[in-house]
Structures are given as C-alpha cells and as structure tokens.
Amino acid sequence: MPAQSPELQSLVDAAARAALKKFAGKKLTESQLAITVIDLRDTARPAQGSFRGNERIYPASVVKLFYLAYAHRLLEDGRLKETDELKRALRDMIVDSSNDATGYVLDMLTDTTSGRELQGAEMKRWQQKRDAVNRYFASLGYTNINTNQKTFCEDAYGRERFSRGAKGENRNKLTTDAVARLLAEIATDRAVTPARSAAMRSLLKRDFAGESKDADDQAHGFTGIALEDFPGARLWSKAGWTSTTRHDAAYIELPNGARFVVVTFTENQANERDIIPTVARVVIEHFNKQ
C-alpha cells in the first residue's frame, strides 16, 4: 500500500483548489470531486495523496479495469480459458470501452448470465457467483468498493435490475484510492504477474498525439488533454463517463523519469470536460519540475 505523503497531499489539495476555483461559475463543489495521486518514482516505496479519495462513487466504465485484472488472475490460475473470443472481448472492453464486451467478460468471470427474474434461493445463488470479483479484491485488501454489476448503454433488466437494487443500493462503487492502487500495481508489474501486467498495459496505452473529433475519446478527451504541452510524455488510462459522471484513471511517464498515477472522478459535471485536465495539469507540472 502506498504511504501517505505530506508533499503529495499538498499537491492534491492544490489541484483540487485549482479546479474548484476555475469552475466556481459552473458550481463545482468539493462533493463533486475526488482525486488520488500515487508517486511511482521509487517503485519500492510508492507515496500517495488524495482528496476525498475514499468516497464511494459510481465509477462508470472505470470498473472495467477491475474486470480486466480479475480476468488475468483467472487466466494465470488456469480457471479461465484464453479463447480468441475472450481476447476480443477484453480488448473491446478496455480499448473501445464496449459495454457489450464487458457484459460477456463479467459472465465469463462469474459463470453468470443475464435473463429473466430469479426468485429466492435461485437469485441468492446467482448473486453469490456474481460477487466473485468482490471476493477477489477483498482478498487483496481492497475495501469500500463494489464490483459486481455490468455496464449498460441504457438500463438493466430482469435479474440484473434486481441485483442492482430498486434504489441502486448494489450499484458498482469505487474510490479513487482503490482505482489508483490497482493502476499503480499494473504499472509496476505487481498485478497478477509481470507478464500479465504488461498485457494489461498494452490495452491501456493511449496515443494522445493529433486531434480527435470525439469528445469522449479516451486518449484525447480526458487526462490526455493536459499532456499536449508535454512532448515525450506517455499515457496509459481508462476513462468512464455517463450523463452525470466523468472520470479518468491515468498512469503517466514523463521524459525526466517521473512516473505517477492520477485518478480524477467528477459527479454532476459530466459536460465539463476540462475539469479532469485542469487537475492533471497541476499534477503533471509538479512532477515535470522534479
């Protein structure tokens, strides 16, 4: 686990203040923002700072990072077969952020399927199987998260809706601290095995050079915006967005050797695409001066 760092805490607080000040006119509040930064320059002693980093927030497609890591755990253990279809789905889940691919992956990870409503003991057995991802991350010491729901373009139906709960009480929830930890482990070859970590990074690599007409392009629409002024920087990331949320989890390497993770979640500010790069610029500038 990364150690808490006063220096990084000051950095994260400054990044939060910068965003809150810039978007005060858009009524951005502290309760709509969460940030975690992990310094990986010394991989044996990672350091962390966070702003509301342990708040449970609906993660949108950022949860797919957790499904990717669990898939590689099962593949490594021989409990999941590495078929061409699974490889295609894992790629589409991360590279294109496909919700259809994610549904297939989660079914494969938990031996569950969507479908008609289930009752009583049958639903309980189904939910127990679906909670496999939660049990895995709990065994690694992750806390305060929920990773047992599919992602949908529109809505959940049948057993998926009942699993989620009438008031969404069983929705996916992540903290920026948990996301930053997982991404740091992938970045430093500690997620499953070094070879598995490298395979995950190959799907998370983003080319933010040039331009994109898609405001939700993972390479150009989130943290990548802030890297345009830092030639030679490299980016690995997983974004998530809905009508009410806009998030990004980014691992960045700078030409000066700095390596760090910055995770930013925003709520009820989904149309403000510059909040995330505003936070990222403060963080990047700090590490670029080191």
Note down pLDDT in tens along the chain; length 290 residues.
Answer: 899 999 999 999 999 999 999 999 999 999 999 999 999 999 999 999 999 999 999 999 999 999 999 999 999 999 999 999 999 999 999 999 999 999 999 999 999 999 999 999 999 999 999 999 999 999 999 999 999 999 999 999 999 999 999 999 999 999 999 999 999 999 999 999 999 999 999 999 999 988 888 888 999 999 999 999 899 999 999 999 999 999 999 999 999 999 999 999 999 999 999 999 999 999 999 999 98
Lookup result for tokens 């009942």? 162
Architecture of domain 1-55+175-290 in CATH?
Answer: 2-Layer Sandwich (3.30)
Q: How many Cα atoms are found within 13 Å in the side-chain-facing hemisphere of 66?
A: 33
Per-residue pLDDT at 199 = 98
Beta strand 3-4 with 33-39: parallel, antiparallel or unpaired?
A: unpaired
Domain ranges of the chain: 1-55+175-290, 58-174
Q: Are 177 and 34 in contact (CB under 8 A)?
A: no
Per-residue pLDDT at 215 = 82
Per-residue pLDDT at 212 = 87
pTM (global) more than 0.85: yes
Per-residue pLDDT at 160 = 98
